[in-house]
């Protein structure tokens, strides 16, 4: 006979919850470092950062790489285009989608905001040694990879 009592769940100890709360707190903390100075939302900063690392990209590529929903990417891109920080260009290979590029003003914003973001990251990691930081990065990569595998498996069902 099986026990009808469901297993106890402590939300404070539930890893997905802890990751979400930590992600929200870290994102808000880092966002404050650039929202006031640059007037960018978290989503807009992510688009600028990704384009600053590797241009051009499509909105779909941005969505896939950053695991951002398409609506958030679309809103961020629209706002950045309106502000003159991002431009759209027709893709040679596929005229249905657009390549996104940083404008000169967008590149300047990326250059100015990158040290601010890196300082915020360094402040966050203060107290961890290099080994702990490397281990944290490794574990996060493993979790992200596993989540991706599980999502693909779910999508296949």
**Domain identity same for 54 and 43:** yes
Reading the block at residue 5, the tokens are: 């009592």
Instruction: Give me the DSSP letters along 64-85.
Output: HHHT--HHHHHHHHHHHHHTTS
- The rounded distance, in Å, linking the Cα atoms of 77 and 58 is 10
pLDDT, one tens digit per residue, over 119-131 is 989 999 999 999 9
**Domain identity same for 78 and 135:** no
**Domain identity same for 118 and 134:** no
Question: Would you state the pLDDT for residue 142?
Answer: 96
Is the whole-model pTM more than 0.75? yes
- The rounded distance, in Å, linking the Cα atoms of 89 and 114 is 25
Q: Is residue 33 domain-resident?
A: yes
Spans in the chain with pLDDT lower than 70? 1-3, 93-94, 157
Question: Would you state the pLDDT for residue 1?
Answer: 57
Q: Is residue 117 domain-resident?
A: yes
Residue 150 structural domain: 127-157
Q: Is residue 31 domain-resident?
A: yes
Total number of domains constituting the chain: 2
Question: Would you state the pLDDT for residue 156?
Answer: 81
């Amino acid at each position: 006979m099986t026990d009808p009592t469901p297993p106890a769940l402590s939300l404070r100890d539930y890893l997905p919850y802890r990751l979400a709360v930590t992600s929200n707190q870290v994102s808000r903390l880092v966002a404050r470092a650039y929202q006031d100075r640059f007037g960018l939302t978290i989503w807009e900063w992510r688009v600028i950062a990704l384009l600053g690392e590797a241009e051009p990209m499509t909105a779909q590529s941005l969505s896939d790489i950053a695991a951002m929903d398409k609506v958030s990417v679309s809103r961020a891109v629209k706002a950045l285009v309106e502000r003159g920080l991002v431009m759209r260009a027709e893709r040679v290979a596929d005229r249905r989608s657009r390549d996104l590029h940083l404008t000169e003003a967008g590149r300047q914003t990326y250059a100015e905001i990158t040290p601010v973001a890196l300082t915020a990251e360094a402040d966050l990691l203060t107290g961890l040694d290099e080994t702990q930081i490397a281990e944290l990065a490794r574990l996060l990569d493993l979790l992200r990879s596993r989540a991706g595998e599980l999502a693909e498996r779910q999508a296949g069902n």
